[in-house]
């Protein structure tokens, strides 16, 4: 690089590397992409240019219609999943606030000759052809968010189509501290807004993509039309979002910041795929958020499905959490579920690893009297339950929650079997509770 003259502006705070350093840096990053290229004959990376670069020089002015090697990490067809409110421009891209293109040192200086001889397979060759300076590319390399203040909608779109570019954007947009920059970016133009939304939606199931989507929704909470567009973009992949570890984190955020009428797609999806959501770990997280906010008519449909599958879901490693959540949030349906579980053999459920948790929740619900009465009516099975590995937790819950006549009956039935409950790991807690209740009664008398 040329030395700065006395009247030259001061150098940037960081040192811009020479071209060889930059290329070497990205060659190391491109190892995985090259391996992918060898295996599949294609590449999604900015680090490799497989398509012809469409550019020309006209009177020293560079014209380029696109970056070459464009490809979405989600495949060429992924863009069809989203509403197309904008078309990617194929016209000449200006120098992004860096002055007229004619002043580009790679076009009108001694760098031009070296630039012409550069192999098009080198990293970021196409960015240079778009008019990007070393300073801009170095900001890109160093994840410097100030680069976003210099680029336009076309640049954002092109970066988002590449693995490295998408990573750069999402790492910045997922940072809550960059909310002002995100606000300026999406407020610049319709193209900028739709480009940013599409990029974030493409990666919503990644950690930074999920964080970026939450930041975006929070930022747009006072703009119903913009929120509607974001949710419309998410709609084609909504089920995968609800089932994903990162994507599912967005669902409760939508309920928090969006109006009820904007969430219809999520409620419809929850009703249609209720069992699939209820039997997967992340699906349960999404479904619980739905259960907390849903209203009729979708609420009636959803809860009727859960009620009809209550016995099955109660013994499922994930489904039991859904039934428990309904018992907590919807008292009327909780009563119906308790009756359904009694009919489906409450004692067998109480001895199940997951079912016992649901029955404990039933004991704590509005239907406690019905459940405890059923336990008392089967004396022999109640004693067996107190001795069971999982069932003893149900009995403990009943002893803690029940009062009055029902409690006295429980203590009377189980008190006759104290010798069987003492000195046993599965029964000792039940024994201690019974002794405590007996002592309390004796003190009162």
Q: What is the pLDDT of residues 344-400, one digit of tens each?
A: 788 999 999 999 999 999 998 888 888 999 988 888 888 888 888 898 899 888 888
In the predicted structure, residue 240 carries a pLDDT above the cut 80: yes
Tokens of 217: 């929704």
**Rounded CA gap, 18 and 35, in Å?**
27
Helices in 49-162 by DSSP H: which ranges?
Answer: 105-108, 111-116, 125-129, 134-141, 153-160
Is the confidence at residue 124, as pLDDT, over 70? Answer: no
Asked if 208 and 345 sit in the same domain, the reply is no
The answer to whether residue 352 sits within a structural domain is: yes
Q: Which ranges in 235-315 belong to alpha helices (H)?
A: 238-243, 250-257, 264-272, 274-278, 281-293, 298-308, 310-314
Average pLDDT over residues 206-218: 91
Instruction: Choose the final residue of a domain: 219, 236, 262.
Output: 219
Q: Which residue has the tokens 């948790």?
A: 357
Q: How many domains, the chain?
A: 2
DSSP character for 62?
E
Q: 208 pLDDT exceeds 80? A: yes
> Is a pLDDT exceeding 60 seen at residue 4?
no
Q: How far apart are CA 223 and CA 312, in angstroms?
A: 42
In a domain, 42, yes or no: yes
Considering the domain architecture, whether residues 50 and 187 belong to the same structural domain is answered as yes
Tell me the C-alpha distance between 394 and 347, whole Å.
10
Range(s) of the domain holding residue 365: 322-330+338-445
Count CA within 13 A, CB hemisphere, residue 150.
17
Whether 252 is covered by a domain: the verdict is no
Place of tokens 């409450």: 346
Is residue 40 located within the same domain as residue 159?
yes
Residue 215 lies in a domain: yes
Query: Please, which pLDDT band fits residue 97 given cuts at 50, 70 and 90?
Result: very low
Average pLDDT of 403-417? 82
Q: Largest Cα–Cα distance of the chain, in whole Å? A: 107
Q: Is the pLDDT score of 136 beyond 70?
A: yes
Same domain, 203 and 346: no
Lowest mean pLDDT among 127-136, 215-224, 251-260, 382-391: 127-136
For residue 239, being part of any structural domain is answered with no
Q: For residue 242, how many other CB atoms are within 10 A of its CB?
A: 25
Which of 188, 219, 250 is the C-terminal boundary of a domain?
219
3-class DSSP state of 252: helix
DSSP 79: G
Contact 307, 340 (CB under 8 A): yes
DSSP 425: T
Residues 186 and 41 in one domain: yes
* Same domain, residue pair 203 and 352: no
Predicted confidence at residue 70, as pLDDT, reads 32
- Among the candidates 190, 219, 248, a domain finishes at 219
> Which position has the higher pLDDT, 69 or 176?
176
pLDDT top residue among 376 and 184: 376
- How far apart CA 279 and CA 262 sit, in angstroms, is 26
1 sits in which H/E element: none
Q: What is the pLDDT of residue 427?
A: 64
pLDDT at 47 over 60: no
- Rounded to whole angstroms, the Cα distance separating 149 from 135 reads 13
d(CA 169, CA 128): 19
Same domain, residue pair 192 and 69:
yes
d(CA 148, CA 359): 55
Q: Which of 376, 78, 363 is nearest to 236 (CA)?
A: 78
Is 293 within a domain?
Answer: no
Tell me the two tokens of residue 11. Answer: 């150098």
Banded pLDDT at 292 (limits 50, 70, 90): very high
Same domain (yes/no): 326, 211 = no
Contacts for 426-432: CB closer than 8 Å, 24+ residues apart: 426/387, 426/388, 426/389, 426/392, 427/386, 427/387, 427/392, 429/392, 429/396, 430/386, 430/392, 430/395, 430/396, 430/399
pLDDT at 308: 92
Determine the Cα–Cα distance for residues 71 and 63; give it in Å rounded to an integer.
21
Q: Is residue 280 part of a domain?
A: no
Residue 314 within a domain: no
Which of 289-292's residues contact partners 24+ apart within 8 Å by CB, and which partners? 289/251, 289/252, 289/255, 290/251, 290/255, 290/266, 291/322, 291/325, 291/326, 291/329, 291/330, 292/255, 292/325, 292/329
């Amino acid at each position: 690089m040329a030395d700065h003259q006395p009247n030259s502006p001061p150098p940037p705070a960081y040192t811009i590397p020479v071209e060889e350093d930059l290329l070497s840096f990205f060659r190391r990053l491109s190892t995985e992409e090259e391996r992918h290229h060898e295996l599949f004959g294609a590449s999604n990376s900015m680090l490799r240019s497989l398509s012809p670069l469409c550019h020309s020089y006209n009177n020293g002015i560079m014209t380029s219609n696109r970056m070459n090697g464009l490809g979405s990490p989600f495949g060429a067809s992924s863009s069809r999943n989203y509403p197309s409110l904008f078309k990617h421009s194929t016209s000449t891209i200006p120098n992004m606030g860096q002055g007229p293109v004619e002043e580009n040192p790679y076009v009108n200086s001694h760098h031009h000759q070296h630039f012409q001889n550069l192999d098009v397979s080198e990293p970021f060759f196409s960015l240079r052809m778009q008019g990007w300076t070393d300073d801009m590319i170095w900001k890109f390399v160093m994840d410097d968010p100030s680069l976003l203040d210099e680029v336009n909608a076309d640049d954002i779109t092109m970066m988002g189509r590449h693995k490295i570019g998408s990573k750069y954007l999402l790492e910045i947009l997922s940072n809550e501290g960059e909310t002002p920059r995100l606000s300026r970016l999406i407020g610049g133009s319709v193209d900028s807004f739709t480009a940013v939304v599409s990029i974030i939606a493409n990666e919503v199931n990644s950690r930074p993509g999920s964080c970026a989507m939450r930041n975006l929704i929070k930022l747009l909470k006072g703009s119903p039309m913009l929120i509607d567009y974001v949710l419309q973009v998410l709609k084609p992949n909504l089920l995968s979002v609800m089932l994903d570890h990162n994507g599912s984190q967005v669902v409760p955020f939508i309920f928090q910041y969006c109006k009820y009428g904007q969430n219809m797609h999520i409620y419809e999806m929850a009703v249609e795929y209720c069992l699939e959501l209820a039997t997967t770990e992340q699906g349960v997280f999404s479904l619980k958020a739905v259960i907390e906010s849903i209203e009729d008519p979708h609420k009636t449909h959803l809860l009727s499905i859960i009620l009809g599958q209550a016995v099955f879901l109660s013994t499922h490693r994930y489904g039991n959490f859904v039934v428990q959540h309904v018992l907590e949030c919807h008292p009327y349906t909780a009563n119906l579920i308790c009756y359904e579980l009694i009919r489906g053999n409450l004692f067998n459920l109480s001895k199940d690893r997951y079912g016992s948790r649901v029955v404990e929740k039933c004991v704590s619900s509005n239907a406690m009297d019905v459940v405890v009465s059923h336990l008392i009516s089967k004396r022999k099975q109640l004693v067996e339950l107190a001795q069971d590995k999982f069932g003893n937790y149900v009995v403990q819950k009943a002893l803690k929650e029940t009062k009055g006549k029902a409690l006295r009956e429980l203590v009377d039935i189980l008190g006759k079997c104290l010798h069987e409950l003492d000195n046993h790991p599965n029964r000792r807690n039940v024994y201690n509770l019974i002794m405590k209740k007996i002592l309390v009664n004796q003190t009162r008398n």
